[in-house]
Amino acid sequence: MSGLNENDIAILRRYADSGNRELYWNYLAQKEGGDGYGLLALGVVRNDNLPGQVANAYAQSQASTQHDRDPRLDNRVLSEREWDSFGQTLLLRDVELRERWMSRGKPELALNLPGRDVQVAHDDAFRQHGLDPNCWTPRILLDATRRKHGEDAAETVWKDMLNNEARGTRRALDTTGNAFAAMPWAQASMYVAKLGAYELAMAKEAMPTNDPNVIGMQSSHHVYSERERAWYIQVEGAIPIRERNASVIDRLNDTRELRLEQQERATQFHPDDNYRTLIDSPKVVSNDLRVPGGETATRLAMGPAHADYPLYQQVRGHVTALDAKLGREFDETSERMTLSLVALAKENGLEWADHVVLSDATGAIAAGQRVFVVQGELNDAAHLRASMATDVAVQAPAEQSLRQLANVSQEQQLQAAAVIQQAEQDAVARNSQSQAMRMG
């Protein structure tokens, strides 16, 4: 029989008490027989898929207007740290309900909480933080269904919401149908339209919250330069400008510190936790509007319009030749090596690639342990080169290399912007000095 056992509860309790949101939901997401709630929650924690992004945006919007619905509540715009605190409270309410079902001898319900329990956990957590319980996206629909059709029907709606079949298409259709089945036509239309508006906005604008150095939305966000220890605001289509507003910088620093704390938490596994691989948040069809996956993402990122496409083509050609020399076909492993080397070359200031070569055998070290990308002739002492472990190059996921490449490009843009800004300031200073001398 599927369900939780006492060891599972002990692990979850440890994670809940320490506020370890990612490992708590990661554990439930990978537990055999799980209903998908853990996966859905991971998307909210990371803000890295459309359902999670919509849920977070909806909650923030509802909190900012909650006084209009309940005069006892103040309108709130919560910081990322405040939302993290709410999420930690939710863990405590959630694990309490799972412990209760275990004490009643219902391990299957401890694993897959009834929808009513999930709602109770959210209601309690929202109220504890001075927030309207309707900040939880499904609540209005679940309550409407419960009033009109009863608890069993509400439970069916909840299970529909956890369905990620066909990459979320089924869930979207079920939500629309359930809304019109439970609400008056005007209310259902407004509810569905509001969710649709959030989906469109988030598909275009939202960014994951797991990068401590990039904070904001797609069209306007801040980027942290670790070298300069400074923040730059990046508006789509414009040159990055250094952030000077002290209050904004304080907020950004706090958010960055929080994300670094979250990254550290995600490494603090319970000794008995066997799920040491962090499972990916489920992607939905709508995510394709912004972030194509797998091989599609690689092709788009390295298309002819990409600034690094010439370098990519050079490296890819050399890797293809290396494969042929070794008697193998270019494959996904070759593509991963190609992208790893493009990112490596960019990071080390190489502008083009004349060669890709494997290391020779030296003493007890076998040949091919490292791979080199070289700018210039091999026999020219002035050539530029960079190297990395071959096994790392062929195993690094394509998405990781593309992110690394994007980060390097951003860093170089920030450095260029800083140089321009400094030159402008120097010019102003020289002009001021010249005018002062003339006046003197």
Torsion angle (degrees, nearest 10) of CA 290, 291, 293, 299 = 90
Could you say which DSSP state residue 287 is in?
G
- What is the DSSP annotation of 171-219? HHHHHHHHHHHHS-HHHHHHHHHHHHHHHHHHHHH---S--TTEEE-SS
CA distance 385 to 422: 31
pTM: 0.66
- Point out which residues pair with 362 in neighbouring strands: 365
Length of the chain: 440
Q: pLDDT tens, position by position, for the chain (440 residues)?
A: 579 999 999 999 999 999 999 999 999 999 999 999 999 999 999 999 888 999 999 999 999 999 999 999 999 999 999 999 999 999 999 999 999 999 999 999 999 999 999 999 999 999 999 999 999 999 999 999 999 999 999 999 999 888 765 444 456 556 777 888 888 878 887 887 778 778 778 877 889 999 999 999 988 999 999 999 999 999 877 888 999 999 999 999 999 999 999 999 999 999 999 999 898 887 654 444 443 334 434 443 465 556 777 888 889 889 888 888 877 778 888 888 999 999 999 999 998 999 999 988 777 677 788 999 999 999 898 999 999 998 888 888 888 888 888 888 888 777 777 777 777 777 666 666 656 555 55
Distance (Å, whole) CA 91 – CA 36: 16
Beta carbons of 129 and 89 less than 8 angstroms apart: yes
* Residue 169 pLDDT: 47
Q: How far apart are CA 13 and CA 64, in angstroms?
A: 32
273-312 residues labelled b (16+ CB within 10 A) or e (exposed): bebeeeeebbbbebbeeebeeeeeebeebbeeeeebeebb
**Other beta carbons within 10 Å of 75:** 10
- CB 92 within 8 Å of CB 16: yes
344-398 pLDDT tens trace: 999 999 989 999 999 887 776 777 889 999 999 998 989 999 999 988 888 888 8
Q: Where are the domains of the chain?
A: 6-207, 211-272, 291-403
Tokens of 7: 């060891």
Gap between the Cα atoms of 234 and 214, Å rounded: 10
Tell how far CA 160 is from the center of its chain: 25
Distance set, CA 353 to CA 237, 309, 385 (Å): 29, 12, 9
CB of 16 closer than 8 Å to CB of 8: no
**CB distance 440 to 377 below 8 Å:** no
pLDDT digits (tens, 9 = 90+) for 95-118: 999 999 999 999 999 999 999 999
Buried b / exposed e over 326-348, threshold 16 CB at 10 Å, is eeeebeeebbbbbbbbbbbbbee
